[in-house]
Chains A and B, each alone.
Chain A
Amino acid sequence: MSATVDTAVAEPPVRRRRPARVLRAGGLSVRWERRAARAAVLLLVALVLLGFAALLTGPVAIAPGEVLASLLGQGRAGTDYAVLGLRLPRLATAVVVGVALGASGAIFQTISRNPLGSPDIIGFTTGAATGGVLAILIFRAGATGTSVAAVVGGLLTAVLVYALAYRRGVDGFRLILVGIGITAVIEAVNSYLIARARLQVALEAQVWQVGSLNGRTWTNALGVAVALAVLLPVAVGFGRRLSMLEMGPEAARARGVPVQGTTVVMVVVGVGLAAVATAAAGPISFVALAAPQLARRLSRTEGAGLVTAGLMGAVLLVASDVLAQRLIESRPLPVGLGTGLVGGLYLAWLLAREWRRGRG
């Protein structure tokens, strides 16, 4: 049934859309769309190229040939240390954090049925910022302590918002509104803390709030990777239900989707992904919001597209990191400053192109 619905409702017959393919093996079947697959391949290629650019980026200039030699295990000890010991773990962290943020954003945009949906909606990011800022300003915590505090702050906020929005089940719209209310309070706390602190400490907190990949090690990357390995399959497994949810709770219920159960699981998965990303790199803005929108426009499919959104998140984050490090030669900036610039300009450019072509 699904395949016929998808093809029949598609665009007008100017250029007929090819039907989605279904691969079957035993009892399992996977549905895949050509355009989404093509977009995924494109993104992977971009990711490899940008990744190589990231390995070339750093305080010491290393020639591409030497980087390649190090990657193949034939480099000198000095370049090996810079490339394999410093830049590769940083790149790996960027990739996994990007995937986590992109997928998390796709999940929240589907649940909320709003293009602005992201972990911010249920207060996660702001709560995480409060946790981190409190840890820095009051407890003078180090990097690990700040990460832990951020995740605890984010989770507490998410639970609070969910509980306050719960009334015989959670309605997506009420979840957003309650999230807005609670987020406003927490944001007020954040700006109060920053305005009242001594300038030096306030600056430190401000820098952390932007999100950074400086000095990230394999431990950071591995932690996020493990979480991805656990959470992503759950999300992908719920993919069909998720695209039903996008039609609205009533329509989804009519098609036999257990709306409440699906929403709970997806909120948990989405918040989990945002939490591990924040723990690894701090509260990085805009990736969760922009990646699903950019992926959707690139693959020209409707709906969430968890995998493409995740890949787009990774591409955005790696590109932002390269840009932020190279923007001002003498002063590498944290990655969080690049994400708004790269993602925002890219999204603006896409919108402008749609504007010219007259697509909506």
Chain B
Amino acid sequence: MTLTAPRPAAVRPRRGLATRSSWLVVAVAVLAVLCLFSLAVGAQGIPLGTVWRALWTDDGSDQAFIVADLRIPRTLIGLGVGAALGLTGALMQGLTRNPLADPGILGVNAGSSAAVVLAIAVFGVTTPAGYVWFAFAGAAAAAVVVYLLGATGRVVSPERTVLAGAAVSAVLVSFVSTVLLLSPDTFDSFRFWAIGSLAGRRMDIVVTLAPFLLVGIVLALGLGRALNALALGDQTGAALGVRLGRTRLLTGIAVTLLCGVATAAVGPIGFVGLTVPHVARMIVGPDQRWVLPYSMVLAPVLLLAADVVGRVALPSGELEVGIVTAFLGAPVFVLLCRRRRIAQL
């Protein structure tokens, strides 16, 4: 291995630039098709031609209303949240060098859950639009505490970050359970938020969260090179010219923004952020500059597919996206784990 350029690509020539980019293009194409399906499929099926027309002109029909006011925001949120979840998982796993790291483990989901429980129990908020800022603030607060506890100080090891996340998460989950136990009304509202759903989200949420999402994505995609060097260990990474503190801080900010957006919009969804980066690594190897964009595209593929399936899976009503992602994604994930050589961190 050369010290100047830690590029796994040099070791495995068959995963060349052309192969990697062409698969990424394929994934983006799949995602685009899924977006169309997400606009067309639902309690009322709308032909693709009508969808296409409704995208550009508002003819005042019911179908145009459904597409423009219900399905477009829902699809946009699915896209954005999926990208956010995929990226946070990849960032967290890269930074902590722990394959189990995800918003759930690192306490961010627990932070937003605690804040939402407070919102319901103390302030009487009961709508997704009302949860947004609480979820966002909770995620940010938890991320900051975990970051200070686990990723600063004189000696920092990946293990500490993960343990700090687990500790903070445990305290917050206990707090949430206590409130739920003491207040059945809060429990009744909370159990529906905690499942993770895209239903009933309108354009106002999209507009509110989009700036945070965009900043988070730009930050995240710029971190690939630094995370690659850190994968060799903190000391080697520093020797390769990575500024450790700066990389950690930027990763922390990106994770907070993206996690906050995701949980604020749909509730705590665990599976996507944890597993999609693993799938990305199985396809492209451990190079973070590829893992990050692949995770960003593959995660919304899973999320949108799950949402579309969830709309038609039951004879009446919908199955929440948080449930369907697990049922759809887990078998694929387990199969991949059995088939392929697993690229470790």
- A residues contacting B by CB (< 8 A) are 114-116, 164-165, 167, 171, 173-174, 176-178, 180-182, 184-185, 187-189, 191-192, 194-195, 199, 202-203, 206-207, 210, 285-286, 289-290, 293, 328, 331, 333-334, 336-341, 343-345, 347-348, 351-352, 354-356, 358-360
Contact of A185 (CB < 8 Å), options: B153, B187, B330, B342: B330
Give complex CA distance A45, B116 in Å. Answer: 41
B153 to chain A: closest residue by CB: A355
Chain A residues positioned under 8 Å from B194 (CB to CB): 191
Within 8 A of A (CB), among B149-208: 149-150, 152-157, 159-160, 162-164, 166-171, 173-175, 177-178, 180-182, 184, 187-188, 191-192, 194-195
Give complex CA distance A81, B47 in Å. Answer: 73
A338 to chain B: closest residue by CB: B174
B237 adjacent to chain A (CB < 8 Å): no
Chain B, interface SS category: helix
Chain A proximity of B18: nearest CB distance (Å):
29
- Once the chains bind, are A191 and B163 in contact (CB under 8 Å)? no
Chain A residues positioned under 8 Å from B324 (CB to CB): 188
- Once the chains bind, are A167 and B173 in contact (CB under 8 Å)? no
- Once the chains bind, are A191 and B334 in contact (CB under 8 Å)? no
- Once the chains bind, are B330 and A184 in contact (CB under 8 Å)? yes
Within 8 A of A (CB), among B91-118: 98-100, 105
- Once the chains bind, are B184 and A344 in contact (CB under 8 Å)? no
Give complex CA distance A31, B171 in Å. Answer: 37
Contact of A206 (CB < 8 Å), options: B98, B154, B166, B187: B187
- B residues contacting A by CB (< 8 A) are 98-100, 105, 149-150, 152-157, 159-160, 162-164, 166-171, 173-175, 177-178, 180-182, 184, 187-188, 191-192, 194-195, 270-271, 274-275, 278, 319-320, 322-327, 329-331, 333-334, 337-338, 342, 344
Chain A residues positioned under 8 Å from B278 (CB to CB): 177
- Once the chains bind, are A199 and B188 in contact (CB under 8 Å)? yes
- Once the chains bind, are B171 and A116 in contact (CB under 8 Å)? no
- Once the chains bind, are A345 and B171 in contact (CB under 8 Å)? yes
- Once the chains bind, are A115 and B195 in contact (CB under 8 Å)? no
20 other A-B residue contacts (CB within 8 Å) besides A207-B181, A343-B167 = A177-B99, A177-B275, A180-B100, A180-B333, A181-B337, A188-B322, A188-B324, A192-B320, A192-B323, A194-B191, A203-B187, A206-B180, A290-B166, A336-B177, A341-B175, A343-B170, A344-B174, A347-B167, A351-B163, A360-B157
Given A351-B149, A359-B155, A360-B160, A192–B167 Cβ distance below 8 Å? no
Chain A proximity of B104: nearest CB distance (Å):
10
Give complex CA distance A193, B320 in Å. Answer: 12
Chain A residues positioned under 8 Å from B174 (CB to CB): 337-341, 344
Give complex CA distance A354, B155 in Å. Answer: 9
A286 to chain B: closest residue by CB: B170
Give complex CA distance A285, B160 in Å. Answer: 20
Chain B proximity of A189: nearest CB distance (Å):
8
Interface centre among B171, B175, B184, B275 (most CB of A within 10 A): B171
Chain A residues positioned under 8 Å from B319 (CB to CB): 192
Given A164-B334, A176-B100, A289–B160 Cβ distance below 8 Å? no
- Once the chains bind, are A341 and B171 in contact (CB under 8 Å)? yes
Give complex CA distance A344, B322 in Å. Answer: 27
- Once the chains bind, are B326 and A114 in contact (CB under 8 Å)? no
Give complex CA distance A206, B331 in Å. Answer: 27
A359 to chain B: closest residue by CB: B155
A-B residue pairs in contact (CB < 8 Å), sample of 25: A165-B337, A178-B338, A182-B334, A184-B326, A188-B323, A191-B322, A192-B323, A199-B184, A203-B187, A207-B181, A286-B170, A289-B170, A290-B166, A337-B178, A344-B174, A347-B166, A347-B167, A348-B164, A348-B171, A352-B149, A355-B152, A358-B154, A359-B155, A360-B157, A360-B160
- Once the chains bind, are A191 and B162 in contact (CB under 8 Å)? no
Given A116-B98, A195-B195, A187–B326 Cβ distance below 8 Å? yes
Given A206-B181, A337-B177, A184–B270 Cβ distance below 8 Å? yes
Chain B residues positioned under 8 Å from A289 (CB to CB): 166, 170
Chain B residues positioned under 8 Å from A356 (CB to CB): 153
- Once the chains bind, are B169 and A344 in contact (CB under 8 Å)? yes
Chain B residues positioned under 8 Å from A207 (CB to CB): 181
- Once the chains bind, are B150 and A351 in contact (CB under 8 Å)? yes
B270 to chain A: closest residue by CB: A184
Given A180-B274, A195-B192, A354–B160 Cβ distance below 8 Å? yes
Contact of A293 (CB < 8 Å), options: B157, B163, B171, B195: B163
Chain B residues positioned under 8 Å from A180 (CB to CB): 100, 274-275, 333
Chain A residues positioned under 8 Å from B323 (CB to CB): 188-189, 191-192
